Amino acid sequence: MLSQYKNIQVSVDGSKEADLAFSKAIAIAKRNHATLEILHVIDTRSFQNVSSFDSAMVEQVSKDAEKRMKDYQARANKAGVTDSHYSIEFGSPKAIIGHDFPKKHNIDLIVVGATGLNAVERLLIGSVTEYVTRTAKCDVLVCRAKEIANALEG
């Protein structure tokens, strides 16, 4: 018997891999008649390093994220996903993507890109995707862009 997913979480950050993950999550949600939860996490640690904390900057980041998420939801609806929601969370991407959000929304599949936007952060604190695949309590699908996968193969 094949697994049927009911609540699918896709984490997006504007990267190529996140866009690929989003496309795959749409296909899976349609096939399973599942709810698609589109998640973007604003890493609050990036604001801690700003010497003169500016609330206008946080507001702008939030507005940009809101616009991007509405665009993602419109794409999902246009593609035929009948039940989609988006969320913008603030905090640690690892904890939110891997534990907090899935628990709160009864997620049974997390779809993520292989890498995100910030290569420096990945080197310093480790990959969010790697952490999620090791610690999530549900299935995780990692999507890799073809160009990157081909480069890794040789």
104-148 confidence digits (pLDDT tens): 999 999 999 886 555 555 554 458 888 898 999 999 998 876 654
pLDDT at 154: 45
Residues of the chain with pLDDT under 50: 1, 124-125, 148-154
pLDDT at 16: 82
pLDDT at 117: 52
Q: In what order do the strands lie in the sheet with 84-91?
A: 84-91, 35-43, 7-11, 109-113, 139-143
The domains located in the chain, with CATH, are: 7-136 (3.40.50.620)
pLDDT at 123: 53
pLDDT at 73: 97
pLDDT at 43: 84
pLDDT at 18: 87
* Element (DSSP H or E) covering residue 113: strand 109-113
pLDDT at 1: 44
